[in-house]
Amino acid sequence: MPIFHAILSSSAAGPDGDLHRLQWLIGAWLLIGTAGMLRPRSLRYVAHWLFPLGALVSLGIAATAGGFLAVAPMTRQAAGMAAQTQILPLGLPDLPFHLRLDALSGFFLLLLGLAGAGISTFAAGYFRSGTGSAPGLLGLEYHLFLASMALVILADDAYLFMVAWETMALSSYFLVTSQHRIPEIRRAGFLYLVMAHVGAISILLCFGVMQGGSWQFSFQAMRSASLTPFWASAAFLLALLGFGAKAGLVPMHVWLPEAHPAAPSPVSAMMSGLMLKTAIYGVLRVSFDLLHFRLWQWGALTLALGLFSAIFGAIFAAVQTDMKRLLAYSSIENVGLIFTGIGLAILFDASGMPLFAALALTAALVHALNHAFFKSLLFLATGSVLHSTHQRLLGKLGGLIRSMPWVAVLTLVGTLAIAGLPPLNGFVSEWLLLQSFLFTPQIPHAFLNMIIPTGAAALALILALAAYVMVKFYGVVFLGQPRESSLTHAHDANWMERLGLGWLALGCILIGVLPRLALRASSAVTSSLLGAKVHDGSFPWTIAPVAAEQASYSGLIFFVVIVAVVGITFLLVRLLAHGRVRRTPAWDCGYPWQTSRMQDTAEGFGQPIRHMFGAFFHMERELPSPSDPAPQYRIHIEDRLWRAIYQPIARAVQWLADKVGVLQGGRLAIYLLYSFLTLLVLLVFVL
């Protein structure tokens, strides 16, 4: 980061240079997208020129945002540069678009740019000609999606925010339904669109509450509005509902497991890795920036919802048999963890403990950054697997490590990272989150400080389940024997795909080994939002968030030790075994007739979880009878919340629509009578 800073500070023109450059970069995205329409049918043109260009623009955005964050927050505050603002000559009369770049938006732009660069590079090699939308159209929607996410993050008034938010929802809808000839995909897209709009309405209402009677919709006016605790709580709840619907917080999560498998893999990666983060950004913007105080009740609610989402997501991920659905549920789990961190931060902040609040917020931010890397990586890897095998079902995959070594190795990095193993990045944020749980007994509320520590136990359970899920994912897809004969012909990813995957894997390793990098970026945010930041460690390669003598972690030392142990073991084995490599059949437990069908399956792997957490699921099981000559075992798992919440709502809407339909009797005289009576009633009203 200091390097970025050195490069950029020399070229930045004036105090608002970063914001200007970002506008140009976003404009470049839009231009690239439009350029795709020049030759919409040409895959070579779109894939080989436009997507790599888009990746370069992403890198530019990441570099600009990183440079902005790298300037020490205190220096910036002193120079009056805590935020760069600008009013665009666009929008409605009296309602122009405002832009603002501060530490929070800088952090999320960094995330967007870094992960976006990897995804765009992968996408350049991924899209094939075939059914579905034309490549040029996909390119347009793709870059529009990226640009609208950047605008959501930069928006400084409710109007631009909502415009960008809706553009984001619509462009991603069209990306999800690019294979619109398949009915399930249309259905998934519809569900996504409905949930996106329920969320958008809630966000709109939230802004309506926050303007606090001033009828000014710039964020500056909302910051200075003074709300009563009641209305502030209403605004916070609306924000939680609206942004939660986008982030996939239970119980608004239903669209995620439908839409992510339906979308092409780079789009799933963008939605899960990047779009969910814009919702996190929205919650943070509203609760820590726009509202001028926080109540501990908000924190407790967010914490409870976050923990529940995380458990829910982890358990459901464990029983999935479709690899993209599994990852979608895993996204719900990770979003739950991020919300847990946000909840703790609100709780600490409302209790007057800024340092611990900064710690919890750091955990949430770093986890958001980590999730952008490893979840994008895993979704992209499923795309490569999908392309070479045409299979999404875990039950028909297996043994791909031999035919797709590149993808297998890079996916392994992502899998280990998401399972939270040191020295990779997932461990850092989960460790930070656990650290912040350890300080909850100091909260001055009698019952809270007794109940919340049990959350730490729940967190431990979630992390263990997440690891279990990832063992299942990696083990079933890449290890063992191929379950279908066609899998032996699977081909590895092409070099553009490898480059994209490699970039994301590098991010996972780099943040894990040198967590100080991510902590520096998030410290800029916490010091601008909370006025406190976590401590650096005593050495450049360690982190010690609260105090050096309490707890510290060094990814680098872990990394060195692991590499050393593995290297020494390898050498020792080579020495002792005289370097001879023997290839013989594996020991078959005395039973030489095993086939690949006898391996543990995805269903089998999930069975213990299904058994233990049976209360969470609605299960329909078909067991074969002993005398059946062609036995079939089938299990269908459904979300209980779908039946408990969504079906009644759908039925109520249908019922209401039927009632309204009665009004349409078909007789002209009746219609005329309606207007006549309306007229009379209005006249009586005047009288």
Partner 1 sequence: MVRSHLIAQLLNLLAAGLLLLSFSMLSRRRTQRLINLYAWQGSILFLSTCLVAYDAGLKELWYSAALTLLLKVILLPVILHRLIQRLGAQWDTEPVVDIPVTMLAGLGLVIFAFGLAEPISHLATTITRNTLGIALAVILLSFLMMITRRKAVTQVIGFLAMENGLFFAATSATYGMPMVIELGIALDVLVGVFILGIFFFQIREQFDSLDLHHLESLKDE
Quickly count: other Cβ atoms within 10 Å of residue 279's Cβ.
25
Q: Which residues pair with 553 in a beta bridge?
A: 543
Pick 630 or 669: Cβ nearer partner 1:
669
Using the contact rule CB under 8 A, the part of the chain among 209-217, 529-537, 568-576, 670-678 near partner 1 is 670-678
Pick 627 or 675: Cβ nearer partner 1:
675
Interface mask (CB under 8 A) for partner 1, residues 642-661, using x and -? -------------------x
Structure-block tokens of residue 43: 């895959």
Structure-block tokens of residue 415: 């899998």
Q: If binding is defined by CB under 8 A, does position 3 make contact with partner 1?
A: no
Pick 584 or 675: Cβ nearer partner 1:
675
Cis peptide before 73 (omega within 30 of 0): no
Q: If binding is defined by CB under 8 A, does position 681 make contact with partner 1?
A: no
Structure-block tokens of residue 668: 């002209």
Alpha-carbon span 177 to 83, nearest angstrom: 38
Q: If binding is defined by CB under 8 A, does position 570 make contact with partner 1?
A: no
Q: Which of 586, 589, 615, 686 binds partner 1 (CB under 8 A)?
A: 686
Q: If binding is defined by CB under 8 A, does position 666 make contact with partner 1?
A: yes
Are 344 and 437 a contacting pair, CB within 8 Å?
yes
Query: What is the greatest pairwise CA distance in the chain?
Result: 107
Helix (H) or strand (E) segment spanning residue 362: helix 354-389
Q: If binding is defined by CB under 8 A, does position 672 make contact with partner 1?
A: yes
SS3 633: coil
Cis peptide before 423 (omega within 30 of 0): yes
Alpha-carbon span 65 to 484, nearest angstrom: 47
Residues in contact with partner 1, counted by CB under 8 A, come to a total of: 16
Q: If binding is defined by CB under 8 A, does position 182 make contact with partner 1?
A: no
Q: How far is the CB of 659 from partner 1 (least distance, A)?
A: 13
Alpha-carbon span 639 to 254, nearest angstrom: 9
Q: If binding is defined by CB under 8 A, does position 228 make contact with partner 1?
A: no
In angstroms, the first-to-last Cα distance of the chain is 73
Helix (H) or strand (E) segment spanning residue 84: strand 84-92
Give the per-residue SS3 of 247-266: HCCCCCCCCHHHHHHHCCHH
298-317 positions binding partner 1, by CB under 8 A = none
Using the contact rule CB under 8 A, the part of the chain among 75-83, 327-335, 594-602, 672-680 near partner 1 is 672-680
Q: If binding is defined by CB under 8 A, does position 664 make contact with partner 1?
A: yes
Alpha-carbon span 76 to 83, nearest angstrom: 9
The amino acid at residue 320 is Q
Q: How far is the CB of 666 from partner 1 (least distance, A)?
A: 4
Using the contact rule CB under 8 A, the part of the chain among 181-189, 490-498, 559-567, 667-675 near partner 1 is 667-675
Q: Read out DSSP for 435-461?
A: HHHHTGGGSS-TTHHHHHHHHHHHHHH
Q: How far is the CB of 186 from partner 1 (least distance, A)?
A: 23
Q: How far is the CB of 652 from partner 1 (least distance, A)?
A: 20
Alpha-carbon span 681 to 579, nearest angstrom: 98
Are 175 and 196 a contacting pair, CB within 8 Å?
no
Q: How far is the CB of 662 from partner 1 (least distance, A)?
A: 10
Q: How far is the CB of 661 from partner 1 (least distance, A)?
A: 6
Pick 590 or 666: Cβ nearer partner 1:
666
Interface mask (CB under 8 A) for partner 1, residues 370-409, using x and -? ----------------------------------------
Q: Which of 37, 623, 656, 679 binds partner 1 (CB under 8 A)?
A: 679
Alpha-carbon span 205 to 193, nearest angstrom: 18
Q: If binding is defined by CB under 8 A, does position 685 make contact with partner 1?
A: no
Q: Which of 547, 563, 680, 681 binds partner 1 (CB under 8 A)?
A: 680
Pick 573 or 679: Cβ nearer partner 1:
679
198 Cβ neighbours under 8 A, 6+ residues apart: 245, 252
Q: If binding is defined by CB under 8 A, does position 673 make contact with partner 1?
A: yes
Q: What is the crossing angle of helices 354-389 and 495-513, to 10°?
A: 160
Are 104 and 98 a contacting pair, CB within 8 Å?
no
Using the contact rule CB under 8 A, the part of the chain among 160-168, 393-401, 622-630, 677-685 near partner 1 is 677-685
Q: How far is the CB of 684 from partner 1 (least distance, A)?
A: 8
Are 175 and 149 a contacting pair, CB within 8 Å?
no
Q: If binding is defined by CB under 8 A, does position 667 make contact with partner 1?
A: yes
Using the contact rule CB under 8 A, the part of the chain among 8-16, 38-46, 613-621, 673-681 near partner 1 is 673-681
Pick 442 or 678: Cβ nearer partner 1:
678
Q: Which of 24, 495, 642, 676 binds partner 1 (CB under 8 A)?
A: 676
The amino acid at residue 467 is A
Q: If binding is defined by CB under 8 A, does position 665 make contact with partner 1?
A: yes
Q: Which residues pair with 620 in a beta bridge?
A: 636
Q: How far is the CB of 679 from partner 1 (least distance, A)?
A: 7
Q: What residue ranges bind partner 1 (CB under 8 A)?
A: 661, 664-669, 672-673, 675-676, 679-680, 683, 686-687
